[in-house]
Structure 1
Amino acid sequence: MYNGSVVSLVLTLHSLELSGPSIYSAFIFGLLAYLIILLCNLTIAFTICSNRSLHKPMYILLLNMPINDTMGATSLFPQLLYSIWCENRLISYSACVLQGFFVHLYGGASHVILTAMAYDRYIAICSPLRYGAIMTNNNLLRIITGMWFLHFIMIFVTFLLLLPHKICRTYMDDLICYNPSIMKLVCENTRVNNIYGLIVLGVYHILSFSVVAFTYIQILITCISKKQSDAKMKAIQTCGTHLVVFLFLEFNTFFPLIAHRSENVPAYLRRVFSISVLVFPPIVNPLIYGFKTKEIRKKILKMPSYKQPLNDFM
């Protein structure tokens, strides 16, 4: 059992198994990935904020995504790049808890934001005449404030329940810190933490999946029931990409958390999925929800520094 103060406790993360020239290659690749994530997401956020024509419910909800993706990537890359460059896998316990908090804050917020966007599209397509009355500025503010406040409280309580426990081990068999990996360092009974964790899992995964499934089934039914020839294509364009992104997020966030509860899952798979959810969505989301969105792309193309690169990309 560790007898000192947790403030001075230093943990050891799992080795990246890099050596020689691969260290510099990994550092450059990670740095470029992080810079691309920052550039793309901050461009989308700035474009929405700086154009009054985009101050609509759909885009205001979308604004939460690049902000959240930037937070998620920042919870991973700075510490990871420092670890690669210095060949040092040590991290203080307080920094580990802080990283874990932001990792969970990012993951949960991704579910909440995609769920809110699904609800917005459901109202817009299934009840277009009532859309203006339902998605008013006041209601939109309540939705955004409520989802972030409740989400923050749930994650805050998750880590608040973790802090009183004593630590027995200092080696963490994961590449990053998050709640299940930190709980494995605890030497006391964590039954309350496990029960609360399962409740949180149920809220984020079961509830959000149910809402998204219901809304997009209704959207498909509404689009297909219309007599226009492009109804099916409209349904696919509206639902397809969003569902793929949501299901990818569901699996990537659910798998590592469940893998910690099973001895039959290879540790390397758990590590890969825990990292991928902080890398791929922040890179892919700006392309899907930003640069591929006609209204946002038009505004970005008017920015001189982005006009030529985006024309080449498109």
Structure 2
Amino acid sequence: MSYMIILFCNLILILTIVLNKCLHQPMYLILLNLPVNDLIGSTAVFPQIIKQILTGSRMLQYPTCVAQAFFIHIYAAGTVSILTAMAYDRYIAICFPLKYNTVMTPTNIMRIITIMWLLDLLAICVLFVLLLNLPRCRSEISQIYCDNPSLLTLVCASTVVNNIYGLFTVAISQVVANGMILYTYLQILVTCFRSKHSDTKAKALQTCATHLTLYLLLECLGLFTIISYRIKNMSPTPEEIHRAADINFPPTFNPIIYGLKTKEIREKMVHFFKNRIFPI
């Protein structure tokens, strides 16, 4: 049921943006990547969970585990990159409104989106190339879902290089993302409080508060996942359930937050349902 809700909400958000030319603006084109990324993450986890429920077996074969882990890490890296790009877009729009159309051109938007995905793919591909080159003791694992740390438990050799690279990429991505988001939102707040237009200030603050809340939620969920791996005496089943929830919580609420809180998207969604889904 949860997976169907995620599919429905995210597909509606994608269709709303794609089918309405008035939403083909920088902010919404960057936002379009979020439901696509959410579908990647939820699809990597939910079908396997459904299969485990139907078969009663939690055993995962190595190829399935690797594929699942790869897309889960793409999803995690993609979410951080997309929210950072959205913060940059709002920063230019609010702090430099006269330069917005010059800076955020369709060409530059495509460059931002392309670079964002290519960097994520490169970082995750290197991570898994290092992993797949290590010898392993077994080829099955009993878990709700797989990720890089769980795959490393199958390895029979030193994982120091993998651990260093993993921590390095996480540290770099967090420093860059958190630094950019902290800087941009501080500048946005300063600009908003200096603005004499109360309506513009309120709208900007509402949009940025939505983005910032979502990002902080993601960071808290990610922090819990990292801590759960470090606590060895945590019971496996609740731990894995929490991790699965961490992955599927944002995809459930992202389309609701952006669909209902963003006026333009909300209006187009209502129009979409009235005219295409339930025509009178």
TM-score (norm 1): 0.82
Match of 1:199 among 168, 181, 184: 168
Amino acid at match of 1:88: S
Contact 2:41 2:247 in 1 (8 A): yes
Query: Counterpart of 1:48?
Result: 17
Q: 1: CA distance between counterparts of 2:229 and 2:140? A: 15
Amino acid at match of 2:94: I
Query: Counterpart of 1:277?
Result: 246
Query: Counterpart of 2:99?
Result: 130
| 1:130–1:192 Cα change, 3 Å | same
Higher helix share: 2
Question: Which of 219-228 and 62-71 deviates more?
Answer: 219-228
Match of 2:59 among 80, 90, 105: 90
Contact 1:66 1:286 in 2 (8 A): yes
Contact 2:62 2:141 in 1 (8 A): no
Contact 1:101 1:155 in 2 (8 A): yes
- Name structure 2 gaps, 5 residues minimum: none
| 1:206–1:222 Cα change, 3 Å | same
Amino acid at match of 1:196: Y
Contact 1:173 1:181 in 2 (8 A): no
| 1:208–1:110 Cα change, 3 Å | same
Query: Counterpart of 1:188?
Result: 157
Q: 2: CA distance between counterparts of 1:131 and 1:105? A: 30
User: Identity, % of aligned pairs?
Assistant: 46
Q: List aligned pairs for 1:294-309, cutoff 5 A.
A: 294-304=263-273
Query: Counterpart of 1:36?
Result: 5
Q: List aligned pairs for 1:148-227, cutoff 5 A.
A: 148-169=117-138, 172=141, 174-227=143-196
Amino acid at match of 1:237: Q
- The C-alpha deviation readout for 1:98-135, integer Å capped at 9, x for no partner, is 00000000011000000000000000000000000000
What is the Cα deviation at residue 225 of structure 1? 1.5
- The C-alpha deviation readout for 1:157-182, integer Å capped at 9, x for no partner, is 11110001122245646421000111
Match of 1:119 among 88, 91, 96: 88
| 1:110–1:306 Cα change, 3 Å | farther
Amino acid at match of 2:123: M
Q: 2: CA distance between counterparts of 1:294 and 1:306? A: 18
- The C-alpha deviation readout for 1:208-237, integer Å capped at 9, x for no partner, is 111111111110111011233457644531
Q: 2: CA distance between counterparts of 1:227 and 1:72? A: 42
| 1:168–1:69 Cα change, 3 Å | same
TM-score (norm 2): 0.92
Query: Counterpart of 1:102?
Result: 71
SS of the equivalent of 1:91 reads strand
| 1:290–1:231 Cα change, 3 Å | closer
RMSD across aligned positions (CA)? 2.1
| 1:157–1:216 Cα change, 3 Å | same
- Structure label with greater radius of gyration: 1
Question: Which of 35-44 and 166-175 deviates more?
Answer: 166-175
Q: 1: CA distance between counterparts of 2:107 and 2:235? A: 48
Q: 2: CA distance between counterparts of 1:209 and 1:287? A: 24
Q: 2: CA distance between counterparts of 1:65 and 1:299? A: 18
Amino acid at match of 1:126: C
Contact 1:126 1:222 in 2 (8 A): yes
Contact 2:81 2:177 in 1 (8 A): yes
Number of residue pairs aligned between Structure 1 and Structure 2 = 278
Q: 2: CA distance between counterparts of 1:265 and 1:89? A: 19
Q: 1: CA distance between counterparts of 2:120 and 2:272? A: 35
Q: 1: CA distance between counterparts of 2:264 and 2:203? A: 17
Amino acid at match of 1:238: T
SS of the equivalent of 2:60 reads strand
Question: Which of 278-287 and 224-233 deviates more?
Answer: 224-233
Contact 1:180 1:257 in 2 (8 A): no
Q: 2: CA distance between counterparts of 1:165 and 1:62? A: 38
- Name structure 1 gaps, 5 residues minimum: 1-31, 310-314
